Structure 1
Amino acid sequence: MHKPRPVRVVSAALLTATAVVLAACGGSGTDDAAADGIVRSTTNVAGAGVLGNARDTENVCAPTAPVDPAGVTGTTRKVVHAAGETEVPADPQRIVVLDTDKLDTVCALGLQDRLVGAAVTGAVGAQPEYLGATIAAVPPVGTLQEPDIEKIAGLKPDLILGSKFRTPELYEQLSAVAPTTFTEKVGTSWKENVVLDGTALGRGAAAREAVDAYQGAATATGETLDSSQTQASVVRFMPGVIRIYGPDSFAGQVLTDAGVQRPPFQRLTDAKDKRFAEISEEQLSNAEGDVIYVSFYGDEAKGQGVEVMEGGLWEQLGAVKDRRVFSVDDEIWMTGIGVIAARGILADLEASLNGYVN
């Protein structure tokens, strides 16, 4: 395993950001255990430093991007997508989204004020906090797996963004409510999804520019951090499940874009599905890395995860002994799946990849 090397040249801004976050997640703080046993500290979670406490959520959404004139005929444009070909408004005004990646893209294109409804994840049951107050206030329209079509129809949208991966059987019903476009997959093709959703939103050119800008930022981050010298582990606790995330996952792709290496097991070299692998507590050695990033999918998973992280097998890991374990926002690392979330991961890397929890 690579041993992380100190950063040789770091900007003043990066040093400031690192100091702020590591101070926030230092071990000098105290865990606040509620009656249900779940640790909700803003300083650390079972010894893992918490990243992102100082994240700006007030100005996260971009200014409204200009309408892309390409492909417009009259007041509509034709969009080819995973479920067919659809005529959509050239500049939609009432938008419903049925997956979390689409919320990120709407925010990245500055169209958050046009959202009239959005499906939510089952374990959380609310809109993602990292996208700010406007997105948080968007009315829920069921869950990602079971959107409420009657409620959607009542909102009178003029565009619905959905996913063939989530609800392939609902396309006809959704299309009867409003023009609907579907992306094929979730996560593995996230950059292509940003551009396709951006095209349906009338801002395909701006979406491509946002992806390109992220790619440049990822490369720059990796060079600044000398990231190729570190193998990062990504662990997610879900209710009753421990997952290790591989190179085809959203977070895994961002790490690759930033030049971060992965521990041998987490490359999932021989696996058909390189997004993630599930492990048992007895297999926690597969979570080892120079640095470990941990996330929790909801409060139930957090309670279970804390219990595992306070156990002997977890404490035997080298990164745990070296205090190089960081708790990250599940909404950003796992369910955001867009350019804003990807930049959030880059910010977390800047604050932690070559640092230690005090």
Structure 2
Amino acid sequence: MPVSARVRTRFPSALVVFAAAGTLLLAGCGQQTDDASTIIRTTTNIAGAGVVGLERDTSQACPLPSRPDPGPATRAVTHTGGVAQVPADPQRIVVLGTPALDAACALGLWERVVGATTLTGPVPQPDYLGYGVKRIPSVGPDGAPDPARIAELDPDVIIGTEGQGDYAALAAIAPTVLAGTGSGWAAEFTGLAEGLARADAAEAVLAGYRADAPATGAEPAVAAAQAQASVVRFGAGSITVLGTDSFAGGVLTDIGVRRPQNQRGASFTVPADKLEQVEGDVIFVLFDGEAGREYGESVLRSASWKELGAASDQRVFAVEDTIWHGSGPVAARALLTDVRQNLNGYVGG
């Protein structure tokens, strides 16, 4: 389908509830609850963009605990920091970064997480992981964990991604696994799962996702191949088109969603006077923090933005940055839900 502002085919709104969850993610979330009075989702429109995820059900984001891999009481895990001897079934876990918390959630081990790094901003952890994870004690900000706080928690294992803190200091406290980030989110998740002795469970999670992503795109109400979706992230004074090398771009590819011709490669920045480069049949927008939202709103209110075909068609949707610019199977499934409900939707009046 062309993305011309003059020639477009309209699709009926597809407000379909996402139900194609993988085997492990169907189990429910133990004691995880969604406290509506705490997770407030009331903003329905941002500068003309419809806000996605207002009715997201996070009560089943994390399944029941998965089984550990068979084997000895400890096993060697090779990772970016070296080799760690991790316990077969850790009971006290510290996670460093959202990808590690997403992994613990996806494997059903979030209730064993005794400490986690936290986000800057109004909430300590992403909303999409549910209310329960927000009560996990902080071990410092994301990217700068405090070894003293971690040591006080007496963890069995520490997991995170490369660049999260001083590896030697962390490894002196407990076996530490830092997964690589250069081979895509699925490989990153597998590395984190190995640190939790859950490689088999991780493969089952990924197998479910790999089956559900194209099935979602093939749904008649979704018809992923018939629309070209643009993905734009606003920073503090910057506009970035997320290409197929990004997390969101990879998941969209798995679903079968087409991208505009110029977005079928690496991510790139766009000058504010070249907004035609972000055109699509539908545009999903992300805001990097409060500064990104402020700048993004100013662009969305501009005359140049309003001239875009997707804007005039009321097909611009604001999505959660922690999901679309995230990493991990729980974020990927939340993104499937967003696409299924909004790819062919229109912003309400």
Same fold at TM > 0.5: yes
1:31-67 Cα shifts (integer Å, max 9, x gaps): xxxxxxxxx9522111111111111122221011111
Provide the rounded CA distance (Å) in 2 between the counterparts of 1:113 and 1:143: 20
SS of the residue corresponding to residue 182 of structure 1 reads strand
Contact persistence 1:46–1:309 (CA under 8 A): yes
SS across alignment from 2:230: strand
> What is the alpha-carbon distance in structure 2 between the residues aligned to residue 197 and residue 106 of structure 1?
8
Q: Where do 1:56-205 residues align within 5 Å?
A: 56-69=57-70, 72-73=71-72, 75-122=73-120, 126-164=124-162, 166-167=163-164, 170-185=166-181, 189-205=184-200
Write the distance in 2 (CA, Å) between the matches of 1:291 and 1:50.
Answer: 14
Unaligned runs of 5+ in 2: 19-40
TM superposition outliers: structure 1 runs of 4+ over 4 Å: 2-5
Please tell me whether the aligned partners of residues 98 and 144 of structure 1 are also in contact (alpha carbons under 8 angstroms).
yes
Match of 2:241 among 226, 244, 266: 244
Spell out, residue by residue over 1:211-256, the C-alpha distance to the aligned partner (whole angstroms, 9 max, x if none).
Answer: 1101111010111122112111111112232211110111110000
Consecutive unaligned residues of structure 1, counting only runs of 5 or more, are 19-39, 269-273
Post-superposition offset of 1:109 = 0.9
Equivalents in 1 of 2:122, 2:75: separation in Å? 35
Query: CA separation in 2, counterparts of 1:45 and 1:140?
Result: 31
Question: What residue is the counterpart of 2:23 in the other structure?
Answer: none
Structure 1's 42 and 17: CA in aligned 2 closer, same or farther, altered over 3 A? Answer: farther
Q: Hey, what does 2:314 align to over in structure 1? A: 323
* Residue type at the aligned position of 1:17: V
Aligned equivalents of 2:139, 2:9: Cα separation in 1: 45
Q: What percentage of aligned pairs have identical amino acids?
A: 44
Aligned partners of 1:50, 1:195: CA distance in 2, in Å?
Answer: 32
Where does 1:274-293 land on structure 2 (aligned, <5 Å)?
A: 274=266, 276-293=267-284
Q: 2:44 maps to what in 1? A: 43
Find the aligned partners of 2:121 and 2:253 in 1 and give their Cα distance.
28
Aligned to 1:21: none
Aligned partners of 2:306, 2:346: CA distance in 1, in Å? Answer: 16
For the 8 Å contact 1:127–1:138, the answer to whether it is kept is: no
Figure out how many residues of one structure are paired with residues of the other and give that number.
Answer: 319
By how many angstroms is 1:93 displaced? 1.1
Q: CA deviation at 1:320?
A: 0.4
AA matched with 1:287: V
Contact 2:190 2:202 in 1 (8 A): yes
Task: Find the aligned partners of 2:270 and 2:9 in 1 and give their Cα distance.
Answer: 26
Q: How many Å separate the matches in 1 of 2:135 and 2:180?
A: 28
User: 1:127–1:137: 8 Å Cα contact kept in structure 2?
Assistant: no
Structure with higher helix content? 1
Structure 1 residue 341, shift from structure 2 partner: 0.9
Q: Could you list the per-position Cα deviations for residues 128-187 of structure 1 after superposition, in whole angstroms to 9, with x for gaps in the alignment? A: 1111122111122222322222212222111111222x34x721111111101111116x
Determine helix, strand or coil for the equivalent of 1:177. coil
CA distance in 1, matches of 2:233, 2:157: 33
1:350 aligns with 2:340: yes
Distance between the aligned counterparts of 1:258 and 1:4, measured in 2? 21
Tell me the CA shift for residue 6 of structure 1: 3.9
The TM-score with structure 2 as length reference comes to: 0.86
Give the distance between the partners of 1:177 and 1:15, measured in 2 at CA. Answer: 48
**Equivalents in 1 of 2:313, 2:51: separation in Å?**
16
Please give the alpha-carbon distance, in whole angstroms, between the structure 1 residues aligned to 2:308 and 2:11. Answer: 21
Q: Which is further off, 211-220 or 154-163?
A: 154-163
